[in-house]
Structure 1
Amino acid sequence: MKSLLFRLAGIFSAEIGSELYLKLKEETHSPSLFCLDFTEVSEVTEVGWEFLRKMAERCKETGSKVAGFGLKTQISEEARSQMSFFQEESECILFLESFYLGEAPANEQIPTPSAEGKTIHCPECQTLLRFKQMGDHLCPKCQTKFFVNLKGWVSTYERLL
């Protein structure tokens, strides 16, 4: 499962909202977790709220989850019912982790006995892959290197050009 943190700044309007929505849409081929950091956002316009509503709907359709934190403006009840907002980053991350993964933190290092393995999607080409243990992995199709933790969260490595 992929998890992404988006740090936003300025006025959350049509421009930022549309770019973020397109990125979110691109990343929701498989269930993912999206955490939105609003601490540097000074205002959310009416069109910005509409894009947040569309993001929440897209996540609901694909089995993904989106939540935000650090928003300094008032949140309407309608917006609050569509998407969860928190004061602190840690609260938001804990909420997202618990939604899919239960009580333990995502970076838990205790091995679990699993004979059959689990399935994940390659973060680059979305190929369904089976893995038996956490650690570094290589996609046989696109040769992308990534790390899988005990919970099945996928972290990609940045490429230096």
Structure 2
Amino acid sequence: MKSLLFRLAGTFSAEIGSELYLKLKEETLSPSLFCLDFLEVEEVTEVGWEFLRKITERCKETGSKVAGFGWKDQAAQNLPFGFQFFSSESDCIHHLESQIVSDIPANEFAPKSEEKTVHCPECQSLLRWKLAGDYLCPQCKTKFFVNKKGWVSTYERLL
């Protein structure tokens, strides 16, 4: 399952809301986790709230999860359409990860046999794996780690 963090700033209005909605619509072709950072958002307009409602609905339809953190207005902590705000980034991420209820790792297809597959985090090539450990994508040569549940972690490159 793909997870993305969006750092927002300024006024969350029609312009930012529509761009974010289109990006999330593109990313929800498969279930994903979306964490929205509102720390640098000064204001959310009425149209901005409507886009958050649309984003929440889209995520529900596709099995994706969305939440935010850092919004200063306490009245908006639990919105009527189900979007939730948390006090910190770690709380938000923990909540999103706790919403995953499948025994099958999110980035692994349901196995037809005992074969386990993951997608390369860089080029999205479908790769087979047997044991947890370090792997190298044969297509793009990206190094990554696969844990016992099939979660993929990339290694940062130092320049």
For the aligned pair, the TM-score class normalised by the smaller chain equals: 0.7 to 0.9
1:14 aligns with 2:14: yes
1:75 aligns with 2:72: no
TM-superposition CA deviations, 1:48-103 (whole Å, max 9, x none):
111111111111111110010011123175x254212111111101111111169x
CA gap of 1:118–1:66, structure 2 versus 1, over 3 A, is farther
1:116 aligns with 2:114: yes
Q: Within 2, Cα distance between the matches of 1:59 and 1:134? A: 32
Q: Give me the identity figure in percent.
A: 67
Q: Which amino acid aligns with 2:137?
A: L
Q: Within 1, Cα distance between the matches of 2:143 and 2:31? A: 17
Q: Which amino acid aligns with 2:84?
A: S
Q: Please tell me whether the aligned partners of residues 68 and 85 of structure 1 are also in contact (alpha carbons under 8 angstroms).
A: yes
Correspondence for 1:147? 144
TM-superposition CA deviations, 1:16-38 (whole Å, max 9, x none):
11111111111111111000010
Q: Within 2, Cα distance between the matches of 1:86 and 1:47? A: 22
- Superposed CA RMSD in Å reads 3.1
Correspondence for 2:60? 60
CA gap of 1:18–1:27, structure 2 versus 1, over 3 A, is same
1:5 is displaced (CA, Å) by 0.5
Correspondence for 1:35? 35
Count of aligned positions = 145
SS in 2 for 1:116: coil
TM-score (norm 2): 0.72
Q: Which runs of 5+ in 2 are unaligned?
A: 103-112
TM-score (norm 1): 0.72
CA gap of 1:155–1:16, structure 2 versus 1, over 3 A, is farther
Q: Please tell me whether the aligned partners of residues 37 and 89 of structure 2 are also in contact (alpha carbons under 8 angstroms).
A: yes
Q: Within 2, Cα distance between the matches of 1:98 and 1:148? A: 21
Q: Within 2, Cα distance between the matches of 1:68 and 1:21? A: 14
Runs of 4+ in 1 over 6 A off after TM superposition: 124-127, 156-159
Q: Which runs of 5+ in 1 are unaligned?
A: 103-114
CA gap of 1:123–1:49, structure 2 versus 1, over 3 A, is farther
Q: Please tell me whether the aligned partners of residues 59 and 65 of structure 1 are also in contact (alpha carbons under 8 angstroms).
A: yes
1:147 is displaced (CA, Å) by 3.4
Q: Within 1, Cα distance between the matches of 2:123 and 2:80? A: 34
Correspondence for 2:105? none
Q: Which amino acid aligns with 1:138?
A: C
1:124 is displaced (CA, Å) by 7.0
Q: Please tell me whether the aligned partners of residues 118 and 128 of structure 2 are also in contact (alpha carbons under 8 angstroms).
A: yes
Q: Within 2, Cα distance between the matches of 1:25 and 1:158? A: 28
